[in-house]
Amino acid sequence: MRINDIIKAKRDGAILSTEEIDFIIDGCVSGEIPDYQLSALLMAIYFKGMNSRETADLTMAMVNSGETADLSGIQGLKVDKHSTGGVGDKTTLIVAPIAAACGVKVAKMSGRGLGHTGGTVDKLESIPGFRVELKKEEFVDIVNRVGLCVVGQSGNFAPADKKLYALRDVTATVESIPLIASSIMSKKIASGADRILLDVKVGSGSFMKTLEQARRLATVMVSIGESLSRRTLALITNMDVPLGNAIGNSLEVIEAVNTLKGSGPSDLTELCLALAANMLYIADKGTQSACLEMAKYALYNGAAFECLKKMVAAQGGDISYIEETDKFPNACYYRTVVATNSGYITRMDAESCGVASAILGAGRAKKEDKIDYAAGIVLENKTGAQIKRGEPLATLYAEREDVFDKAAEVFLNAVEIGPQPPESKGLILGRVE
């Protein structure tokens, strides 16, 4: 078997065999297939695509390229939730405790933020003492005792995906649905979940810019999960506008806590209840309507908030910061950004809002960059709001004054104000099961 022949075959639109895909991934991990040939193959896949069987085979080959989590010591079904990335997306901090309070085991491995999107691990590390690196035995014990545990992703999961993603990033082949789907699902399968809920974001702040793209990606990922005996369901959700009002690490933790106390932003609360209800649904807890009522009950009776506190304590975090969020350090400086004219906010580009937050210090351009947990943005008004010139749009927070001008410029360019209110799109735009 020769990689040249495989590249040529895919270039000409052929369907690759399971053996050929295994050969590619083995050669990728061992280094026997050089980067220039892998890059050529990625470009061929970008143009010619892959069918559902090829995509599932690629996913499993990447799963088998490294370690897989053995979660057999966890009692009951393990349900995972994965978001394709967004701005202000702190849903894991709310959804996982709701699901756990309803009896679902959530053994979650999350990533760090990069670029304009935030990472759950960074948010949790803004809580003093919180540990995201645990031994397997401790991870399993916490899930069994508390119902949930959130740790950082292991670098040994799906190493082939890590190498291929780096090549995709520099060869303009990122926007391939089979490659995106197999990348996401290989890590989900390797992390040991029995059931998988996908939150596929669509809009300006997400990777998928159109509903058609998002639906195709969701359909492929659900197909992969089902073909590998993992019950999988996807919600397609709106990321044209940042989720909630807070963008930034400790700011988002505070907003998540407020939501678990019943006083969060309406859009964030609505989406988290829908996600939690669907986690319960795929865990066989009842009908969709019954699961939604269970999720609401766990949220509003305080059970979910207690679950979050137990998880934070079990992972070494200081729960006094969760009980009294005023203890989180404030940024040294802040600046209010105001509307330049009157009317309705017709657009608030989520990606640009995320970029502005990163400029303030809340995000990173490279994985090794340090972040400022207190930096970020709190939105005072969002898309659809009627506003007068000079009224506040947002408050920016940072440790350095010299970043405000650039961040404010980026943020203001993200906002459009017009004479008529925009058409409301809603939060949940589709469902794939």
> Residue ranges of the domains in the chain?
3-49, 79-323, 330-418
Q: 114 pLDDT exceeds 60?
A: no
Report strand pairing: 333-338 vs 392-398.
antiparallel
Length reported for the chain: 433
**Mean pLDDT of the region 253-280:** 97
Class of domain 79-323: alpha beta
Annotated catalytic, 187? yes
Class of domain 330-418: alpha beta
195 noted as active-site residue: no
Residues 402-425: tens digit of each pLDDT: 999 999 999 999 999 999 999 988
CA distance 68 to 362: 32
| Residue 361: pLDDT band with limits 50, 70, 90 | very high
Active site residue 183: yes
Domains 3-49 and 330-418 share a fold: no
Q: Which of 89, 161, 349, 372 is catalytic?
A: 161
Q: Which is the catalytic residue, given 112, 116, 187, 188?
A: 187
Annotated active-site residue in 82, 195, 231, 285: 82
Sign of the torsion formed by the C-alpha atoms of 108, 114, 115 and 118 = positive
Known catalytic membership, residue 116: no
Cβ-based neighbour number of residue 79 at 10 Å: 26
Instruction: Quote the mean pLDDT of the chain.
Output: 94
Helix (H) or strand (E) holding 104: none
Superfamily grouping for domain 3-49: Transferase, Pyrimidine Nucleoside Phosphorylase; Chain C (1.20.970.10)
Residue 112 has pLDDT above 90, yes or no: no
Render pLDDT for 122-146 as a digit per residue (tens, 0 to 9): 999 999 999 999 998 999 999 999 9
Q: In the annotation, is 52 catalytic?
A: no
Which one from 168, 188, 195, 216 is the annotated catalytic residue?
Answer: 168
Q: What is the pLDDT of residue 155?
A: 63
Q: Are 87 and 117 in contact (CB under 8 A)?
A: yes
